Amino acid sequence: MDWARAKTILIIIFLALNVFLAATIIYTSNFSQAAEYNRYAMDFLKSRNIEIMTDLSKIPGKAKRILYTTREFDLQKLSELVFGTELPFEERGDALVCEKGMEIIALTDDQLTITDQNGFGHELFNDMDQFQRKAYSYLARLGFRKRDLCLDSVYEPDEKILDFYVKYNGALLFDQKINVILLEDGTLKISVPAKIVKKNTAPLEIISPYQLLVMANLPEGSIVKSVDFGYKQISEGELYATPVWRVVLDGQGQLFFNAVTGEKLDY
């Protein structure tokens, strides 16, 4: 038997075992510290009568800043979707426009808007579930898959309105909002962003939602309906979107915070 080789193998095995044990100890210690802080945070929030109505345990830990670029739309397919045939687009200012009667498509570098008299008026207007299915189907034909959308709000006044956020790797893109409106006569009005994520930066450490809610100085007695992670351009003209937390309070609207620094944003 080659004892020298066996000795070398045993040394490598013991070194690997030591590394594994050290990593386990560090992970367990960090996990224990995080769990202790989370308990402290919940006790602090309870002391201020702040009620948490959402799960705070699913946190990303790290996130990247992201950069948008212009989304490419197939003009022929857009025309066929709305008008049933291919029609020419013309330049009007900073937009490409195609229209026929009351129906219109307008595309800029930032937004695509469509007015489509689709003929499903009362059938969809009186059935919100069917309207939602139609909206998802229509958006899929524009290149937005259902799994990449988050239905954020539903309104049923004289117009039926659905608001969506586009998702990127499960995070909400708060600058990328989709609006779908159905009028009683069957006219469908859609506005979607004409941007798509191009690339991202190296990962950044972000604060947990527990840390955020302790730092946020929420009004005493607040009810936290949700804490959502996403991205937002926090300065006008900024190229990159920054990781943010959105806190939705019952009856008090929503607040945005920089997920890296915890700073409250002014919108």
CA-CA-CA-CA torsion sign (79, 82, 84, 90) = negative
172: helix, coil or strand?
strand
Are 231 and 108 within one domain? no
Can you give the pLDDT at residue 74? 94
Question: Counting beta carbons within 10 angstroms of the beta carbon of residue 208, is it exposed (0 to 12), middle (13 to 18) or buried (19 or more)?
Answer: buried
Distance (Å, whole) CA 191 – CA 183 = 14
> pLDDT band at residue 60, thresholds of 50, 70 and 90?
low
- Residue carrying structure tokens 């659905």: 162
Are 33 and 154 within one domain? no
- Compare 22 and 260 and report the one with higher pLDDT: 260
Distance (Å, whole) CA 86 – CA 76 = 6
Tokens at 115, concatenated: 């007015």
Helices and strands, counts by H and E, the chain: 5, 16
263: helix, coil or strand?
coil
Q: How far apart, in Å, are the Cα atoms of 208 and each of 124, 142, 185, 186?
A: 42, 35, 47, 45
22 assigned to some structural domain: yes
Residue that finishes a domain, picked among 150, 175, 199: 199
Can you give the pLDDT at residue 267? 66
Alpha-carbon Rg for the chain in angstroms: 25
> pLDDT band at residue 194, thresholds of 50, 70 and 90?
very high
267 assigned to some structural domain: no
Share of the chain above pLDDT 90, in %: 41
Are 234 and 134 within one domain? no
For residue 175, which of 165, 183, 160 has the smallest C-alpha distance?
Answer: 165
Mean pLDDT lowest among 44-48, 75-79, 170-174, 225-229:
44-48
Can you give the pLDDT at residue 108? 95
- Compare 140 and 267 and report the one with higher pLDDT: 140
Q: Identify whether the C-beta of residue 259 lies closer than 8 Å to the C-beta of residue 244.
A: yes
Can you give the pLDDT at residue 5? 52
Tokens at 66, concatenated: 């992201």
CA-CA-CA-CA torsion sign (106, 71, 168, 134) = positive
- Compare 62 and 131 and report the one with higher pLDDT: 131
Residue that finishes a domain, picked among 158, 182, 199: 199
Mean pLDDT lowest among 16-20, 207-211, 219-223:
16-20
- Compare 27 and 260 and report the one with higher pLDDT: 260
Are 94 and 152 within one domain? yes
Are 15 and 137 within one domain? no
pLDDT at 59 over 70: no
pLDDT at 37 over 70: no
Are 123 and 222 within one domain? no
Q: Identify whether the C-beta of residue 207 lies closer than 8 Å to the C-beta of residue 214.
A: no
Q: Identify whether the C-beta of residue 246 lies closer than 8 Å to the C-beta of residue 228.
A: yes
Are 132 and 26 within one domain? no
Can you give the pLDDT at residue 22? 36
Report which residue type is found at 256.
F
Can you give the pLDDT at residue 204? 81
pLDDT at 122 over 50: yes
Can you give the pLDDT at residue 121? 66
> pLDDT band at residue 50, thresholds of 50, 70 and 90?
confident
Domain span at residue 47 reads: 3-65+202-258
Q: Has this prediction a pTM greater than 0.85?
A: no
Q: Identify whether the C-beta of residue 112 lies closer than 8 Å to the C-beta of residue 192.
A: yes
Report which residue type is found at 163.
D
Are 44 and 133 within one domain? no
- Other CB atoms within 10 A of residue 183 CB: 15
Distance (Å, whole) CA 85 – CA 43 = 62
Tokens at 207, concatenated: 């604060």
